[in-house]
Structures are given as C-alpha cells and as structure tokens.
Amino acid sequence: MPRPKGKTLIEVTVVGPDRKGVVADITNFIFKSGGNIEKINQSVLRGLFGMQFEASFAEEIGREQLDLGLKQLAKKLSMEIKVHYQEPNRLQNVAIFVSKEPQCLVRLLQAKKKGQIRANISVIIASDSTLKSLAEDVGIPFHAVVHRDQAETENRILQLIEQYNIDVIVLARYMRILTPNFVWRYPNRIINIHPSLLPAFPGAYAYVQAYERGAKIIGCTAHFVTEDLDQGPIIYQESFKVSTSDTLDTIKEKGQELEAATLLEGVRLYLENKLEVYWGKVYVKEDK
C-alpha cells in the first residue's frame, strides 16, 4: 500500500532496565512531536523492560529532529531506543540467519534469483562457517558469529543488523536461541521455520519424535519469533501424510523440503505486505 503523501510512519523499540515513567515519557514525546500511536506492546521479563509501538505523523517530520529527540530521551531514561522508518516504496533489506542445514537458505536464494521474492538479501549471518560457500557463490556478505557468550554474540549481530539497515530477519534453520533482549527489538520482523505443526513436537528433534510416536501427518510452521520459544504468531503451515513405507530418513527428507517451501511462502507473504498481526494472531490480507 503506498504511503500517504506527507505522512511518516515509524516503528520504535525501547529496551532497558525496568523503571517507572518510561512509557509516559516516550508516549508524551511522540504526542508533543505531532505523532499518533497506532499500536503499542510492552513486556517485563526478569527486570528487563521492552516496548514496541507504531506511530504515525500527519505531516512530514524531519528524521534528524525525531532521531535527536529520541536519542536525548534514551540518554535521560538510560534506555536503548531504536527507530525504524517504514518506506513502502523501497525494497526491504533481508538478513538470513543460518547454521549447518542448507535447504532453506538454498530455496530462498533460488527464489530471489527467479524473482519469486522482491527484496535485497543484504547479509547472511551464521553460527559457524558451514554455509559460507553458498553466500560466496551469489556474492552476498557472510558473517560467522561464533562467540561462546550469548550476550557478546547478540551484540555483534545487532551491530551487523544496523550496519546493513535490515528490515526483516529470516531464521533459515538457525539453531541458536535469541533472547528477549534481541527479539524485542524486532517485533513481528523475525520469521522462523519450525519442523512441526506447532505446538506439537517442539525442539530440534521434532522429526524423531513424530516418527517414534507414529504420527500420520507431519508438517512445519513459519511463524514470527517472540520471547516465548516456538509460541509466536503463526504465518503459514504445511503438512504431508506419512505412508507405511516411510522411514525416518524419508520423513526427514520430505520434511526438509517442506520446511524450505513453507519458510519461503511466509517470507513472500511478509514482503508483499499481506500480513497483519492482532493480539498474537496473523491475518493474511486477501488479494483484491
């Protein structure tokens, strides 16, 4: 949907130690700047405060003016405040996170080459160097972030996300858990693929569990990532029937192919601006 002329739309994330007055100070700043808050969500977990909101400004507002005001407010509150400007007419920048399994990454790269998705795949971030050659083959920057300390790892990734001006993060079988400190910064902008029809068979051994329990239908789920592991709003799901001739190996093979296709569909729907999230549920806009 084209952006109304003169209107500025922003997403703001606030993360830091929980304290009184944060919400009031930030919302008052937006109102005094001529903005209207469209959506807002806030959470507190083990003393860590996170807030995300969307705001609209009826008139064009200078980015430097808004950025400076929020920077001063962040210093006053001892919080981290980030602004993401919505620019519907610009191709979105995508970061793909990977570990060792190539299927989802390969499918996304093929889709980009064939024009099935319109976006800039700006960077591939990995937990090791296993898939580096796939990135080199298509000329996409590749960064292996291998710090043992989770906080150090996420700080480095946050630096890369800012460096490449990333709009959406795709977890293409990325096998490290992201903490609330990271996730809260990108509300409904991190898409994951899970090898199960959530919430059944969670975890890394979903196919083994499904096989051992004699499941007749196995599937996978593309969903947004929240601080609750594998509980985020579901974007898209697919499944396949298990035949009597299937083995664990054939189930894994079918499942990995379906994961790649399901993740791609979830990403496509997001990039085409067909997803709306209300109260933890995803609604897909129908074509007119």
The residues that are catalytic are 230
3-state secondary structure the chain: CCCCCCCEEEEEEEEEECCCCHHHHHHHHHHHCCEEEEEEEEEEECCEEEEEEEEEECCCCCHHHHHHHHHHHHHHHCCEEEEEECCCCCCCEEEEEECCCCHHHHHHHHHHHHCCCCCEEEEEEECCCCCHHHHHHHCCCEEECCCCCHHHHHHHHHHHHHHCCCCEEEECCCCCCCCHHHHCCCCCCEEEEECCCCCCCCCCCHHHHHHHCCCCEEEEEEEECCCCCCCCCEEEEEEEECCCCCCHHHHHHHHHHHHHHHHHHHHHHHHCCCEEEECCEEEECCCC
